[in-house]
Homo-oligomer: A and B are copies of this chain.
Amino acid sequence: MIKAGIVGGTGYTGVELLRLLVAHKDVELSVITSRSEAGQAVSSLYPNLRGHVDINFSEPDIDSLAKCDVVFFATPNGTAMKMVPQLLEAGAKVIDLAADFRIKDTATWKQWYGMDHACPDILEEAVYGMPELNREAIKQARIIANPGCYPTAVSLGYIPLIENNLIDDAHLIADAKSGVSGAGRGASVATLLCEATESVKAYGVDGHRHLPEIRQVLGGVAGHDVGLTFVPHLMPMIRGIEATLYGVLKTDVDDLHQIYAERYKDEPFVDVLPLGSVPETRSVKGSNMCRISVFRPQGGDTVVVSSVIDNLVKGAAGQAVHNMNLMFGLDEKTGISQVALLP
């Protein structure tokens, strides 16, 4: 059994990790830390876990975490980078679900996250945990930067186009829509039910922290910088991201659908829908699947891709477990092949 610890287990990413790990046949949950809830039973905060988890939140403590085989960070940005060096030193593997190890360029990191990076050498070592791009590196990694939710949906949607150099990558447009759980469980007026339900709005138009991350991923695939306009929108629902991606073809293409189907045919968690189908976010609610469709409206030169994920699963906790499975040599689908909850 893999002994797992979770740092910061009280947010939505934390409880989702718990939901997946308690049902994972090869994992034993050892430690869940929370500064604010230390001493409380996990199930008193999350009644859905009553009967499944019987441990208490504890104070974050390097010694008990260092005894774990793997430590997940579901903490605010800037927390993991202070604790990771000691944990790696002690032999634990680390999967960070925050942004601390996602941006390779420390100047860009500081620009968007407003702090110096605490351990640039480990940042360099960290593997960006998107199995569809980096499977082999993940298997060897000690430290994983688990991708952001928007970057997961957007990148998986663009990769086949960019790998095949099919579109003008100087003017990519990603119009993304996310459920409110992406904003976390902190008390705030903006995410009250009365403020966020029955309404839709764009946000972060001038610049969202996932923009440099997506640019880094797509730039890596392209082999050069790409130009991207990324506009996230808040949806009146709990879970789910839909990203509609636009690009102008540089070259004629016979069969876009075939290119997508081929690219992802061996991927257990990317599902290219039949021609003409459009994915709904509810088709992946609670599941680790990404479903994708590609269109060329009226046969013109503009490609439209729709990509959906559950932001808390494929966009966070599920992808983290996928990475853990790869790091520990397990069947990569273990514990994350739940059917989406529909309706």
Contacts and interface: CB of A to CB of B under 8 A. Distances in A.
B276 A206 contact: yes
A322 to B, nearest CB: 15
Nearest to A236: B237
A340 B194 CA distance: 14
A187 B185 contact: no
A206 B240 contact: no
Interface in A274-294: 274, 276-287, 289, 291, 293
A274 B197 CA distance: 24
A15 to B, nearest CB: 7
A191 B193 contact: yes
Interface stretch (A48-56, A84-92, A101-109, A122-130): A48-56
Contact of A15 (B48, B206, B289, B342): B342
A76 interface: no
A235 B202 CA distance: 13
B198 A239 contact: yes
A113 interface: no
B181 A23 contact: no
Contact of A231 (B52, B203, B244): B244
A18 B342 CA distance: 11
Contacts of A173: 173, 246, 302
Contact of A281 (B171, B200, B281): B200
Contacts of A273: 47, 50
Contacts of A304: 202, 205, 229, 231
A222 interface: no
A278 B185 contact: no
B339 A198 contact: no
Contact of A175 (B175, B195, B227, B282): B175
A343 interface: yes
A271 interface: yes
Given A173-B173, A197-B197, A200-B280, A297 B48 contact: no
Given A229-B246, A289-B51, A339 B22 contact: yes
A70 interface: no
A285 B198 contact: yes
A238 B185 contact: no
Given A289-B51, A297-B206, A194 B191 contact: yes
Given A197-B237, A205-B278, A341-B341, 12 more contacts: A48-B340, A50-B291, A51-B271, A177-B233, A198-B198, A198-B238, A199-B282, A200-B242, A205-B293, A207-B297, A207-B298, A286-B341
17 contacts: A19-B341, A48-B340, A48-B341, A171-B302, A177-B233, A179-B198, A180-B194, A185-B194, A194-B238, A195-B343, A201-B242, A203-B278, A206-B298, A207-B297, A227-B300, A229-B300, A239-B343
Interface of A: 12, 15, 18-19, 22-23, 44, 46-52, 171, 173, 175, 177, 179-181, 185-189, 191-203, 205-207, 227, 229, 231, 233, 235-240, 242, 244, 246, 248, 271, 273-274, 276-287, 289, 291, 293, 295, 297-298, 300, 302, 304, 306, 308, 337-343
Closest 7 CB pairs of A and B: A199-B282, A48-B340, A175-B175, A47-B283, A201-B280, A194-B343, A48-B342
